[in-house]
Amino acid sequence: MGTAVLKSVVRQSLLGIALIALAPTSAYADRTDDIVSRNGKRLQDGAASQKRIDDTSERTEKIVSQYHQQRKNVEVLKKFNDRLRRTLQAQEVAMTKLAQSIEDASLIERQIVPLMLSMVDGLEKFIAADIPFKLDERNARLARIKGYLTNANISAAERFRQVLDAYSIENAYGQSIDAFVEELQLDGVAKTVNILQIGRAGLYFQTTDGTQSGYWDKAAGQWQKLDASHNAGITKSIRITRGKEVNDLMTLPVAAPEVI
């Protein structure tokens, strides 16, 4: 019996030892799971924190980029405003000069109108006193200029140009040689004649049939007939002037120079 009891005691002791050995392993497993769980949460929290950091960094970079872009825009606007300011200043100076020019032009126009009236009046008197050639053309030009002087739609510069142009044409007549057809009153009868104008030195007529010739007598202020002996010379001179004969000497009667 003693042996059986001893065996029973030994088995119980071994069972107790086994239970004692198993008890810490279960506790350690629970602690490990808890540690793993906490580490997993820390990792999740760390990932969330990193994402927040990354988002904040990205927003910061965008803000910094926008700031630099705005600085560039401000610099561009400053340069544009500076250029615009200089442009406005230049325009103000130009406007001041323009206003002064307008005032000066108005003053000049007020002064030039009486001058033009005087010039046209002098031109009219000159044509009336001059040898009578192309009177229709010259008087028509004079009438046209008079109309310009009273036309408010024509600038003072244009009116003055027209007056000067008329003076230039009249001056050119003094150096010109021309032949043209006009109608004259001869012995109370209107006749179509050829007119030969030698500057302002001589003015001659000849009937179209070449049988009658004459000249303008400045002293008498009228047409005078010439002897038939001059017909050939005047005919030839008219043909030379019109280019129907080669250039040659013109044989024309010339009045004696006046004694001053």
Q: What is the pLDDT of residue 259?
A: 47
How many CA atoms are closer than 13 Å to the CA of 256, on its beta-carbon side?
Answer: 2
The per-residue pLDDT for range 216-239, each reduced to its tens digit, is 999 889 999 999 999 999 999 999
Kindly state the average pLDDT of the residues 39-57: 79
d(CA 38, CA 28): 15
d(CA 200, CA 177): 9
Kindly state the average pLDDT of the residues 2-13: 54
Q: Which two tokens stand for residue 177?
A: 């040689």
Kindly state the average pLDDT of the residues 1-10: 54
Q: What is the pLDDT of residue 135?
A: 94
d(CA 16, CA 129): 164
Using alpha carbons, list the distances in angstroms from residue 72 to 60, 77, 148, 247.
Answer: 18, 9, 61, 83
Tokens 């350690």 correspond to 28
Give me the chain's average pLDDT, please: 82
Where is pLDDT greater, at 112 or 169?
169
d(CA 122, CA 32): 130
Q: What is the pLDDT of residue 55?
A: 83
Kindly state the average pLDDT of the residues 184-192: 88
Kindly state the average pLDDT of the residues 115-129: 94
Chain centroid to CA 205: how far?
53
Q: What is the pLDDT of residue 260?
A: 47
